[in-house]
Amino acid sequence: MSAKDVYHNTVKVALQKDGWLITHDPLVLELSSSRLEIDLGGEQLIAAQKDNIQIAVEIKSFLSPSTTSEFHHALGQFLNYRVALKVKDPNRVLFLAVPVKVYRNFFSGELAQLSISEYHVKVLVFDPEQEVIVQWNN
């Protein structure tokens, strides 16, 4: 089992406050050649549709001195997880969770915006102090 991100419990609480039921902590995907662990899996019942929306959330803190380097790592991990989900749990939507400061300071920049657009990265922005979801970017 891999180490939990600094903000793991913060994002978990924020999702619960937002009405999500955490169903997996972590969400494990078994492939023939590897085992992947996405930080959280959750679902939310849509009453009008009587349907469940299922998500997977990979949490990143971006605490190292090189935000760009962490972004490269996070993007690669996100893309690998999305491919595995497509095979193992195709109805689940993957989100990359990032702190609001990082989103405002780095994710609004050209490299991040071009990459998010090109690779269709869904971003969940959270406030680590308030333990709330600030924004869902689909």
- Summarised one tens digit per residue, pLDDT across range 37-68 is 999 999 986 655 456 889 999 999 999 999 99
Under CATH, what is the fold of the domain 8-137? Answer: Trna Endonuclease; Chain: A, domain 1 (3.40.1350)
Which positions ≥6 away from 130 have C-beta within 8 Å? none
**The pLDDT value given to residue 24:** 96
**The pLDDT value given to residue 103:** 97
Angle between the 67-88 and 110-119 helix axes, to the nearest 10 degrees?
A: 10
pLDDT in tens, the chain (138 residues): 566 789 999 999 999 999 999 999 999 999 999 999 999 999 986 655 456 889 999 999 999 999 999 999 999 999 999 999 999 999 999 999 999 999 999 999 999 999 999 999 999 999 999 999 999 998
User: How far apart are alpha carbons 40 and 37 in whole angstroms?
Assistant: 9
Measured from the Cβ of residue 106, the count of other Cβ atoms closer than 10 Å reads 16
pTM: 0.93
Letter for the amino acid at 133?
Answer: I
